[in-house]
Amino acid sequence: MSGRTDPILVTGTAGFIGHAVAHRLLDRGERVIGVDIVNDYYDPALKEARLATFQGRNTFDFHRADIADVEAMAAIVRDQGVRRVVHLAAQAGVRYSLENPFAYERSNLAGHLSIMEACRHAEGFEHLVYASSSSVYGDKPMGGAGFTEDEPATDPVSLYAATKRACELMSQSYAKLYGFPQTGLRFFTVYGPWGRPDMAYFSFTQKIMRGESIEVFGEGKMARDFTYIDDIVDGIVGALDHPPATGEHRVLNIGDSHPVGLMEMIETLEDAIGHKAEKVMRPMQPGDVTATYADVSKLHALTGYQPKVMLREGLQRFAEWYRGYYGPTA
């Protein structure tokens, strides 16, 4: 039990990561205020189903609101006495940013600024933790070591990545100007039960279960640092509990530190599902990067963060959840 009475604001609680973080905080006795606009970027029914899992949790209060609504966010933070925020709401997706760029302007840029403004005016505010992304590193050649936070991150290859890097820079500025501590977490390919249908492992599962072919981009030569949702939540909560000093802003990688090739991931997923996939090889898509690989030594030193769930076990858990949610032949 936390022993505290002030609530934690978690934005994006109808989303994959926000839903999991809110439950973890509730489990340890925190009061949680959830915010989400519940848009239709992907199936709203899945988002509503996530929200339904909070029924009966009396210390959870949900607001269906737009994070870019400055007055609404300020009122929630001010009126509820919020002093800690986990800001996870954003417009996700690299490829979608090519089709709908202004969705990223409002949600990622205006939304982030709105949250920071609410925080800076809050009495006794302690810590803003927000979601950044491994995409800020750009299409970096992968050598023997992981991507480190000290690298410049000055060459984003998608608008999504550019907005996430811009959020980091805005947070750095606000921390210095207004003195409230902030932590940006660069997520590396989060997966698991209740995940996002636009992610490759999820869409592959849908197609394999239906007997449809899957499109394998980058000719299958890409690699990702797949990170299981429970491990991600460990890192987020650990970072929240270890704020930087007043007026400081930091960015931390949060990943698995074991990049896996796309073809190996597909083989592991086939084993978890019990069916082989018919693969259609496609070239690299605009905005995609070849590989991601997290160096998590800074987060480990700060919180003891240590990923526990390897890909085979994680995909097995996801496949079991998928069958339970959608049915055995979905």
Q: E strand or H helix at 136, and its extent?
A: none
- Nearest by Cα to 272 from 156, 193, 216: 193
CA separation for the pair 41, 102 (Å, rounded): 13
Would you say 156 and 186 are in contact if contact means Cβ atoms under 8 Å apart?
no
User: For 114-220, where are the E strands, in sequence order?
Assistant: 127-133, 182-187, 190-191, 214-216
3-state secondary structure of 123: coil
CA separation for the pair 318, 69 (Å, rounded): 34
The pairing of beta strand 223-224 with beta strand 127-133? unpaired
Say which residues have a Cβ less than 8 Å from residue 106's Cβ, sequence separation at least 6: 68, 91
Give 182's strand partners.
Answer: 128, 249
List the catalytic residue out of 96, 137, 160, 201. 160
Tokens matching residue 124: 């006794």
User: For 178-326, where are the E strands, in sequence order?
Assistant: 182-187, 190-191, 214-216, 223-224, 227-228, 249-254, 260-261, 279-281
- Nearest by Cα to 164 from 120, 217, 114, 111: 111
For the question of residue 41 being annotated catalytic, the response is: no
Q: Which of 72-84 are b and which e, b meaning 16 or more Cβ less than 10 Å from the residue's Cβ?
A: bbbebbeebebbb
Give 181's strand partners.
Answer: none
Tell me the catalytic residues.
Answer: 160
